[in-house]
Chain A
Amino acid sequence: MTTTALSVRDMLVVYEDFAALNRVSLDVQHQESFGIVGESGSGKSTLLRAISGLSAFQEGSLTVDSRNFNGRKRDREFYRTVQMVFQDPYGSLHPRQTVDRLLLEPLAIHGFDNVDARIARALDEVGLGSGFRFRYSHQLSGGQRQRIAIARALIVEPKILLLDEPTSALDASIQAEILNLLEQARRDRSLTFVMVSHDLGVISHMCERLAVMKSGEIVEILPADALEKRQFSADYTRQLLVASEGFRRD
């Protein structure tokens, strides 16, 4: 049975008099992997930030697990359900905390028990052994940092994971590893993904459906395999596809 995990209706985000999101609506099903692509400034990251409560939306509605949210206010229960992985692994880990502290924090906030075992398991799950547990973030490489960021998001056992270009700051070989790790986690935990990327290749690899965004609006929503069959209606999608193929070497 597929039900709606996350639903956005007519979301409007205005900065001064610039509409970063102009009445965006989308529905993401349970256990679905939903991609959002678009050029820089198309509002895709703004959408994730508005969903997560990092920035406020002025109008519209957000429904997560049949609970309504608005503006910026999110309760603790929301963050048990929804977690986010950021783009820049160099900026998203606290510079003065060990991995242990980083992973302990969400457990402490949500009052989990058995924290030592949970931290050890979380590190194992992202392919880092206990040898990394007491390192500071400056003692880690970019890929390792992103694994820690993923472990931190997964440790509270969320149902929905928001991914804001999780691999664009990493080089190609590490990208593949991180994407495989995310795919594995999704299968193991039956997660729902909302993934933002400017890379059509990454999105079509990871996602079942995707939305194409431009200037704060959704141009179209289509299944990922429609991209390969070239069954899209919007001219902009075609341009985006051509642009991304232009850099392919095959």
Chain B
Amino acid sequence: MSVVEQHLKPYSREWLLSDRPTSRKQARIGRAYVIWQRFAENRLALFGLMIIIGLLFVAAFADVLAPHNPLQGDLRYARLLPPGSDGYLLGTDDQGRDILSRLIHGSRLTLLVVVLVAVIAAPVGLIVGTVSGYAGGWVDAVLMRITDIFLAFPKLVLALALVAALGPGIENAILAIAITSWPPYARIARAETMTFRNSEFISAVQLMGASPFRIVLRHVMPLCLSSLIVRVTLDMAGIILTAAGLGFLGLGAQPPLPEWGAMIASGRRFILDQWWVAAMPGAAILIVSLGFNLLGDGLRDALDPKEAGQ
């Protein structure tokens, strides 16, 4: 190798794209950079990413950004004011609370739901799927029949049943959604695992004397990860909608929490005369769902080139 290549300036473009990385770190960062490049080619995906970053920003600085108290309104002078009223950009609801402030604080709840569901459901699905796909035989049969049972219930109905059993509340809604959303991940991870469980690079690791546990954890899971990340991101919109649906039915976040679905539910009563009470949280759900979908599409193109263009 040439001397020139050894002395690339760290973090320069050439250093990142070098064919001959000189350290573990450079190889890893270089790979991430290539993925980022592929992602950044997609304008819509960048737009989606901006929406999500915006959501994170709003959630992080909700206390500073919100102009009014999200829980206590001005019942006397500010009931059901239309959007654009003095000091109330998006109007107020029936209790005189500023809708913008409620939306800003509600972003925290939305983010909490999405993140917790992803953190609970994705690993469960990944473990069940990879173990089942790699082990085969009766392990596979048992795990997949359990997955089938969960898949057989409509998502919202099973979530309803769980919330009914555990009691309404945002924590139980999260748990219910998580329990109902892992089976598709398990299916994906299993299908992916089965495509390479008999491949030679897995045989090679077996021939090193690696335990099945080690093979699944260190060699199979990393390969399933990218399609799983894509799928989870694409599902986030659905998770938000399910959470909003539970909120709408009164089984998710309880009043006075500014959960977007619950806000729509409370606006339903005067949807004909004061449309903004229900429409504003609806728009927020729409924008965030769209953001996650665009991001997921972009991630799929970047991480999983073989599925791109579908």
**Which residues of A are at the interface with B, using a C-beta cutoff of 8 A?**
52-54, 74-76, 78-80, 83-84, 86-88, 91-96, 98, 100, 105-106, 109-110, 129-132, 134-136, 139, 149, 152, 156
Shortest CB-to-CB span from B213 to chain A, Å, is 12
Known: A91-B201, A109-B214. A54 touches B206 (CB 8 A): yes
Q: Which residues on B sit within 8 Å (CB–CB) of A106?
A: 208
Complex: chain B residue closest to A130, CB-CB: B22
Q: Which residues on B sit within 8 Å (CB–CB) of A87?
A: 200
Q: Which residues on B sit within 8 Å (CB–CB) of A132?
A: 20
Chain B residues 112 to 142 lying within 8 A of chain A, measured CB to CB, are none
Q: Which residues on A sit within 8 Å (CB–CB) of B206?
A: 53-54
**Which residues of B are at the interface with A, using a C-beta cutoff of 8 A?**
1, 5, 19-24, 26-27, 31, 199-201, 203-210, 214, 218-219, 222-223
Known: A54-B203, A86-B203, A92-B201. A131 touches B209 (CB 8 A): no
In the bound assembly, the distance between CA atoms of A87 and B203 in angstroms comes to 12
Complex: chain B residue closest to A89, CB-CB: B200
Is the beta-carbon distance between B223 and A95 smaller than 8 angstroms?
Answer: yes
In the bound assembly, the distance between CA atoms of A197 and B93 in angstroms comes to 79
Is the beta-carbon distance between B31 and A79 smaller than 8 angstroms?
Answer: no
Is the beta-carbon distance between B27 and A134 smaller than 8 angstroms?
Answer: yes
Shortest CB-to-CB span from A96 to chain B, Å, is 5
Is the beta-carbon distance between B204 and A109 smaller than 8 angstroms?
Answer: no
Known: A131-B1, A135-B19, A135-B21. A86 touches B27 (CB 8 A): no
Is the beta-carbon distance between B27 and A98 smaller than 8 angstroms?
Answer: yes
Q: Which one of B23, B207, B208, B223 lies within 8 Å of A134 (CB-CB)?
A: B23
Is the beta-carbon distance between B27 and A92 smaller than 8 angstroms?
Answer: no
Is the beta-carbon distance between B209 and A134 smaller than 8 angstroms?
Answer: no
Q: Which residues on A sit within 8 Å (CB–CB) of B199?
A: 91
Q: Which residues on A sit within 8 Å (CB–CB) of B205?
A: 94, 105
Is the beta-carbon distance between B204 and A152 smaller than 8 angstroms?
Answer: yes
